[in-house]
Structure 1
């Protein structure tokens, strides 16, 4: 097929940068990165997953018809007790908010190749040799889709088609011209397009967008904002954040009556999500996981903001 010459212009992207996970398997979503890992492992008798995690982790399990069981975590987002895995069993651990890097290393020593690390909220966390790991960069930067898998038993790459992402960019473009609240319906529609998608290779558009991002600057700004909030909230935070870590997704501030403060923040146009609403269906109402979902405020610290924005967040919380 001949290359086209002429015609209308495309979006101008430099493609001069380097994405930190270029050596991973670049796929079309985080959940499909998990599916890739599970397919590569082959004969899985059971996957253990936390109650406190996003319900999208169930999608690849349903697609592959894999047995799974839930486990509980404790107040510090760690396993209540170590699970004795049988042959063919694996355990998925979520690196919560990108602040559990140290604990991930501990689990890797306990479980070795039977551990699967969900780094969807920890884009900058390092890959531990021999440990299956997945990432979801759209949790950190403005891209329409994409996921990365690291797996020592890779599948044949040629079986996957190249994805296309142009139809998933409406919410990203709209955010330039209109407030987030106006484009939220587009954001939700885009997320809906990712449901039950076949595993495909990451699109050329998503790769190009990633190559235009200064990930060093992104990390520096996030860490600076995190440090600002932690200086003022650390002593009252019910979570022990186990500093150091590579780079958090948010500042997870756990406080009593967190749900009430969340409403105050949202009313002031500071959008604080609930991680994760599915927990209220999975767990009894008095379960720790429900309290965590209610009480933890994932405060925005990303690269769009500075100290004045952090001060505004503090003012809403404290007044």
Structure 2
């Protein structure tokens, strides 16, 4: 007999409760932000795009693959773009909400240029809702305990055509996360690095059912609240040392607490098992030595503020930073 329904009975499969709080139900879902970006470019025939020099190489690869003309721009010290006064009708602009700190800059961009020519990259600003623009790209895995994921929000008529993935590939992608949960980050790090290589291919692929279930299971409101609370605590005690000017009232989705000093503290903090991330060293080859971007990349320390942690962990980081500054 041919049954059209799902299997019944047998051993239990992986499953999670559905809280139904996922904030972007209309978004198209991909295995990575770069594949979402690739699909947007492929289906909308953008021919010329302004992009920041301070950006990951992975976002440049889709442009090269599809033959899109690239115009690079620099940033001011508040992450605002240095651009022509007018965008020509055939030109589009990609702007990144850096570390979730730049929503006010985005609003200024929309006051200056037509939203129909603007693509916002919210890979580092997951909790910032889409603004009135051409398209918005998200990367859930930078904010959530998922091993993959990219979201595309746009009014453009796009029907994703996904390349195939095997069930075994989808499961293996979570190996490092599961291993860390029963061991340590150090133990799982090599597997994490191996799994990251899977994202070097920017061709669009569908997220796994595992990731789909997880995205529906999170308490997003509490995640956002805890990140903000952690960020504000770090800033309250380290803001006086921070050379990066932070408008604390304008922040709703911090990725990290970027502490800009005269030198990085990352190596010293790692010795205390504070695993500070590094972002976009590959963009150093595109920026000038005397630029804001070069200074930022070379001297910023990204303190951890995500929802896994609370006041105790924030104070531990603060104490270690203050020890380094003595």
Alpha-carbon distance in 1 for matches of 2:321, 2:175: 33
Alpha-carbon distance in 2 for matches of 1:61, 1:32: 11
Quote the residue 2:251 is aligned against: 245
Count of residues paired in the alignment: 315
Quote the residue 2:281 is aligned against: 277
**Structure 2 residues without counterparts, runs of 5 or longer:** none
Is 1:119 the equivalent of 2:125?
Answer: no
Quote the residue 1:318 is aligned against: 322
Quote the residue 2:17 is aligned against: 14
Is 1:181 the equivalent of 2:186?
Answer: yes
Q: Deviations over 1:30-72 (max 9, x none)?
A: 1111112222322x23111111111110121122121212111
Alpha-carbon distance in 2 for matches of 1:266, 1:131: 40
Q: CA RMSD in A?
A: 1.8
Q: Aligned runs of 1:41-190 on 2, under 5 Å? A: 41-42=44-45, 44-82=46-84, 84-111=86-113, 112-157=115-160, 159-160=161-162, 165-190=170-195
TM-score for the superposition, normalised by structure 1: 0.93
TM-score for the superposition, normalised by structure 2: 0.91
Q: Indicate if the aligned counterparts of 1:52 and 1:289 stay in contact, CA closer than 8 A.
A: yes
Alpha-carbon distance in 1 for matches of 2:71, 2:84: 14
Alpha-carbon distance in 2 for matches of 1:113, 1:288: 29
1:82, distance to aligned residue in structure 2 (A): 4.3
Alpha-carbon distance in 1 for matches of 2:179, 2:107: 40
Farther off after superposition, 19-28 or 6-15? 6-15
Alpha-carbon distance in 2 for matches of 1:58, 1:288: 21
1:161, distance to aligned residue in structure 2 (A): 5.5
1:198, distance to aligned residue in structure 2 (A): 2.1
Alpha-carbon distance in 2 for matches of 1:190, 1:67: 31
Partner of 2:250: helix, strand, or coil? coil
Of 305, 309, 321, 1:305 maps to 309
Partner of 1:72: helix, strand, or coil? strand
Q: Indicate if the aligned counterparts of 1:37 and 1:150 stay in contact, CA closer than 8 A.
A: no
1:110, distance to aligned residue in structure 2 (A): 1.9
Quote the residue 1:207 is aligned against: 212
Of 29, 32, 37, 2:35 maps to 32
